[in-house]
Structure 1
């Protein structure tokens, strides 16, 4: 059985709607919590063997290793994984860390981007698996920092307030600033877990809850289409044989 290791920073920001796709393709899912492991354990991790590595989101900054020392070791693990050329997916904080590992900058936005809002695709994005989202169409945003598309990567998407929303390096590395993986049916966990941030940003959780209810089924379908197609291409690029969906 193929395996995926997912770096998870808070319990509710998990693989979400991507989990059923991974099960279709015959993956065994293993979550790791870098903050609980600590720097020494992270340095000893085998990040070569898993057929897929995913670095998920979280409410800390990608530049905050002075405050959260495990981030330095996590960055080293990401750099090592990049050196292998094997499939790597980053979401929000995870995408920012991959961007840093590739030599790109991560910096604060003038205002946080939180809630369901439009995403637009570049020409390259329209030719990628992200085309299943639509152009433009609505996704869930939840971030206050932004990565710049790193050297050697291709910019795939942008929004009104964030010029860099997705990038790819070949078929094996994908970074998403937005939360395509989030399960709209579990949005209440996000609203509770990020209650202080919502209040500080003046974002009404009632609005997000209502949008998740109305947009959820279509978002889930499109998000799984994106992930399924990217995973198939990443497996093909690495000569992995996918299980029949």
Structure 2
């Protein structure tokens, strides 16, 4: 029987799959396990034997249980990961869900939408962060990141460390405790994925599809280097078990 460590990836929408994460997890020597919650696969309420958990995106709000009845279990899974200090990474919807379960707030159609590559500012509070601290010296503290959202976090949990912001969306990244991160951006999306976006959807948000694709292709190498490194640092934690938070 294989003893290879696994990383659970919870997919919430057909168009919001794990993308490059599967390749990066495999390269790190772990085995990705993609759970299709949107296709009816049951979401566990605890991580079990998985070394880490990733909650992916989707065009939903964290409490949109009427449209996505599995979100209740996903919220419980996030709470359990926080309690057990299982490494947890929330992406877009996943990051918003993490914020909500810890006492933050999320609003629909809040502020200005982001679509395509955006400059994200790494805040000084990220200096000692295991994942984003290494990015502080890059491009004077700004790095490119792929965005695709119109909903946004409006208040972080009280105990969160605010790590990154952008011109249109202040809460781009945060950390809770020692091993849980929420990201508004999409590190898993590559330039080819952006090129496949429906042009009508891009225009609806006020962006030019050709400009969005061109910028993604021009930033492709930097996006790969930046976010593969962030994920590798996250996966290091998967091999460093932490004690559960005391009751």
Output the TM-score relative to the length of structure 2.
0.85
Equivalent-residue separation in structure 2 for 1:27 and 1:181 (angstroms):
17
Structure 1 counterpart of 2:175: 168
Runs of 4 or more off by more than 6 Å in structure 1?
none
Structure 2 counterpart of 1:88: 88
Structure 1 counterpart of 2:132: 130
Cα shift at 1:167? 0.7
Structure 1 counterpart of 2:189: 182
Deviation string 1:54-97 (CA, Å, 9 cap, x unpaired) is 00011122232233322222212222232221111100000001
Q: State how many pairs are aligned.
A: 233
Contact 1:171 1:234 in 2 (8 A): no
Output the TM-score relative to the length of structure 1.
0.85
Structure 1 counterpart of 2:204: 200
Structure 2 counterpart of 1:47: 47
Contact 1:112 1:143 in 2 (8 A): yes
Q: Which runs of 5+ in 2 are unaligned?
A: none
Matched, 1:6 2:9: yes
Report SS of the residue matched to 1:225: helix
User: Compared with structure 1, are the counterparts of its residues 230 and 74 closer, same or farther at alpha carbon in structure 2 (3 Å cutoff)?
Assistant: closer
Deviation string 1:183-219 (CA, Å, 9 cap, x unpaired) is 2233233x13xx5532321222111111111110111
Contact 2:121 2:142 in 1 (8 A): yes
User: Compared with structure 1, are the counterparts of its residues 236 and 183 closer, same or farther at alpha carbon in structure 2 (3 Å cutoff)?
Assistant: same
| Structure that is richer in helix per residue | 1
Cα shift at 1:131? 4.0
Equivalent-residue separation in structure 1 for 2:34 and 2:98 (angstroms):
18
Equivalent-residue separation in structure 1 for 2:40 and 2:80 (angstroms):
18
Structure 2 counterpart of 1:72: 72
Equivalent-residue separation in structure 1 for 2:35 and 2:21 (angstroms):
17
Matched ranges for 1:16-165 at <5 A = 16-37=19-40, 41-42=42-43, 47-108=47-108, 109-128=110-129, 129-133=131-135, 134=138, 135-147=141-153, 148-165=155-172
Cα shift at 1:132? 4.4
Cα shift at 1:46? 5.2
Cα shift at 1:8? 0.9
Decide which of 215, 223, 228 is 2:227's aligned counterpart: 223
Contact 1:13 1:182 in 2 (8 A): no
User: Compared with structure 1, are the counterparts of its residues 145 and 51 closer, same or farther at alpha carbon in structure 2 (3 Å cutoff)?
Assistant: same
- The worse-fitting range, judged by mean Cα deviation, of 9-18 and 152-161 is 9-18
CA RMSD of aligned residues (A): 2.2
Equivalent-residue separation in structure 1 for 2:242 and 2:31 (angstroms):
18
Contact 1:106 1:146 in 2 (8 A): yes
